[in-house]
Structure 1
Amino acid sequence: MSVNKPGSVVFENVRKTFGAFTAISDLSLTIEPGTLVTLLGPSGCGKTTTLRMLAGLELPSAGRILIGGKDVTMLPANERDVSMVFQSYALFPHMTALDNVAYGLESSGLKRKEARERAEDGLTLVGLSGMGQRLPAELSGGQQQRVAVARALVLEPQVLLLDEPLSNLDARLRRRVRTEIRDLQQRLGFTAVYVTHDQDEALAVSDQIIVMKDGEVAQKGAPRDLYDQPVSAFIADFMGEANVVACDVVGTEGGEATINVEGHLHRVPGRNVRPGPAQLAVRPNAITLSARNGGAFNGQITHAAYLGDRVEYEVKTSNGTLFVVDPAVERALQPLTEVEISFKDRGIAIIGG
């Protein structure tokens, strides 16, 4: 089985309103062919509405949507070269896995024999060879998800859409199936648009992540860029927990900035940063705690929780309470311990004033 030439996706100044409520205000973005791009954000941010407009299940109130260079803005869902994997899988319970996968092919007019041959290829592609005669109830959640993916892929779409595809699976199975989806996308080279609210999921599968907030793009970029270089406190906290502390930028040189936090000086990446008050996003695992020894940035441990492979601390400082994750379980510190605070070289970023 093969897929059509992967298509690009373009949103041009797309707006979507529901009565007086604006779900998407002015969305412009481009998704390159052959990439897996994730729309990520909290509930109500507009990511699912964006996916539904791309699928043709909702029509935009303004703007244009193009797939593979073709304007599909007002086309119905069945005239767009896309396939969708739903959160609920939407398998027919009375039909076998093979019949579920072949259904769309037969509905499009393909002869039954050819449709079933392609459906068998689709099941083999997702690792379900020999399971075609099982009913959905006889398959695990992960296997049902793969049937849904196979059913979408056999239609050979330009773009595959996935709406919270792993939300019904347990944590261990989510990790395995997300790896399978990513491997499949890379092997076949199709364009995929993936919606989730799970940050780990987005980091694991994506070429690009588009973080949405209140119907707008808050930041987009490669997973590492969003994690290491958040542009706001919202992004820093949403892409993994972050402490936000006040600092002063005291100087810049060679793409780095020297910052002052409570008298503690540290150098961080800082292109286009101006001297003066700013905010610093600090990952919990980028903080080092040590016995107080006359250093400038001090605090007191107010809570310590041993979690097997790490200790989680809450540390009270004059700059607010910091959340710290330390893998050094052999030297766990106790509540009320006075500590000196310093930062590691990675996991901190200036996010503005």
Structure 2
Amino acid sequence: MSNPQRGAVEFRSVRKDYGAFTAIPHLDLKIEPGQLVTLLGPSGCGKTTTLRMLAGLETPTQGAILIGGQDVTRLPPNRRDVTMVFQSYALFPHMSVFQNIAYGLESGGLRASEARAAAGKGLELVGLSGLGDRLPSELSGGQQQRVAVARALVLEPQVLLLDEPLSNLDARLRRRVRTEIRELQQRLGFTAVYVTHDQDEALAVSDRIVVMKDGHIAQDGTPRQLYETPASEFIADFIGEANVIGCDVISVEADGARVRVGSQEIALPARSASTGAAKLAVRPNAFRVLQSGEGLAGKVLSAAYLGDHFEYEIDTAAGRLFVVDGDSTTAAAPGADVVLQFRGAGVALIA
């Protein structure tokens, strides 16, 4: 009988200390089967420690970790039914691609012929059929990464763990491989926990993003929720770029708030706001740059043409703002007086 919880992950009141230093004070986290959840945050936030505890490479000081409904807190890595794709790929340089993928299967007791057949299927899964006899050194970085993913998948784990899996690739290859990983995860429906410090990567691959700060969960939600409705100034600044500016909440009715910035008033979701001074997180592309009109007056400090848009630094009464304008065909010159109007999307009240 199949396990309906297969692939589910749960951290229950987990704490991790290293001597007198507490890396994870208290962590409660649930991951549903078939989800790709990214742990995102700056260096030292606790994301890698969380992943290593899930893999069995670190033991919690307190609390419990469950995989597929089973308490694995004290189980060694080889009894957890998880596999990890490391930042370094960790391929054996003297073994062929086939041998690398088959190694874990043979070590687990599978016959060599069966392991080789499974390795062939693994290569087919990641689009590398026909390359099984090559050495890792004869593959590109992206191909090596896919071999590492194939080697993990042929073990049919409940959970695939990916630790900064694209950090060794150049920017263009990183975009392609992250798309391939996401398509593969959606097609096969396995649970994946993905660690990165790259915000764009997290937005591109995730069902959910768990943003960590100082060992705590700062916000947990879908990529769209975190980008459009950040819960704090930290989240607004960390997920994409945002201008954080002061505003006045004029009125709050039901779930809506009326907010004034400069001479402009806008309606926004209230998000537990009360009347009075508050802060807005405003994405750089949430402004229109106009020569005149109602809005937030400013002076252009710098202007740059980037092909399909202009980027500005604009000095305003609300502070120095970074603005991206994709509408205009002619840039406003440095020193020009402009007016910024809100488009509607990309503006959120924050705590």
Q: TM-score, normalization: structure 2?
A: 0.97
SS in structure 1 at match of 2:183: helix
Instruction: Give distance in 2, aligned partners of 1:296 and 1:225.
Output: 27
Give the letter for the 2:304 counterpart: A
Corresponding residue for residue 327 of structure 2: 328
Corresponding residue for residue 125 of structure 1: 125
SS in structure 2 at match of 1:230: coil
Q: Is the 8 A contact 1:6 1:190 kept in 2?
A: no
Instruction: Give distance in 2, aligned partners of 1:300 and 1:255.
Output: 35
Shift of 1:255: 2.6
**Cα deviations by residue, 1:234-265 (Å, 9 ceiling, x for unpaired):** 10111100000001111123532110112321
Instruction: Give distance in 1, aligned partners of 2:185 and 2:84.
Output: 14
Cα distance 1:285–1:111, how it changes in 2: closer, same or farther (>3 A)?
A: same
> Structure 1: which 5+ residue stretches go unaligned?
none
Corresponding residue for residue 306 of structure 2: 307
SS in structure 1 at match of 2:279: strand
Q: Is the 8 A contact 2:8 2:68 kept in 1?
A: yes
Instruction: Give distance in 1, aligned partners of 2:170 and 2:256.
Output: 42
Q: Is the 8 A contact 1:44 1:214 kept in 2?
A: yes
Cα distance 1:285–1:127, how it changes in 2: closer, same or farther (>3 A)?
A: same
Corresponding residue for residue 181 of structure 1: 181
Between 265-274 and 174-183, report the one with greater CA deviation. Answer: 265-274
SS in structure 2 at match of 1:211: strand
> Structure 2: which 5+ residue stretches go unaligned?
none
Identity %: 66
Matched, 1:86 2:91: no
Give the letter for the 2:129 counterpart: S
Corresponding residue for residue 345 of structure 1: 344
Q: Is the 8 A contact 1:306 1:329 kept in 2?
A: no
Corresponding residue for residue 135 of structure 1: 135
Q: Is the 8 A contact 1:314 1:321 kept in 2?
A: yes
Q: Is the 8 A contact 2:206 2:223 kept in 1?
A: yes
Corresponding residue for residue 233 of structure 1: 233
Q: Is the 8 A contact 1:39 1:210 kept in 2?
A: yes
1:130-279 alignment to 2 at 5 Å?
130-253=130-253, 255-279=255-279
Instruction: Give distance in 1, aligned partners of 2:186 and 2:6.
Output: 12
Shift of 1:329: 4.9
Cα distance 1:5–1:274, how it changes in 2: closer, same or farther (>3 A)?
A: closer
Q: Is the 8 A contact 1:14 1:60 kept in 2?
A: yes
SS in structure 2 at match of 1:305: strand
Instruction: Give distance in 1, aligned partners of 2:304 and 2:214.
Output: 35
Give the letter for the 2:296 counterpart: F
Cα distance 1:135–1:329, how it changes in 2: closer, same or farther (>3 A)?
A: farther
Give the letter for the 2:195 counterpart: V
Instruction: Give distance in 2, aligned partners of 1:162 and 1:275.
Output: 44
Shift of 1:271: 3.9
Instruction: Give distance in 2, aligned partners of 1:218 and 1:227.
Output: 13
Q: Is the 8 A contact 1:6 1:189 kept in 2?
A: no
Corresponding residue for residue 62 of structure 2: 62
Q: Is the 8 A contact 1:159 1:190 kept in 2?
A: yes
Instruction: Give distance in 2, aligned partners of 1:345 and 1:319.
Output: 18
Instruction: Give distance in 1, aligned partners of 2:262 and 2:326.
Output: 25
Cα distance 1:178–1:6, how it changes in 2: closer, same or farther (>3 A)?
A: farther
Give the alignment's Cα RMSD to 1 decimal. 1.3
Cα distance 1:113–1:5, how it changes in 2: closer, same or farther (>3 A)?
A: farther
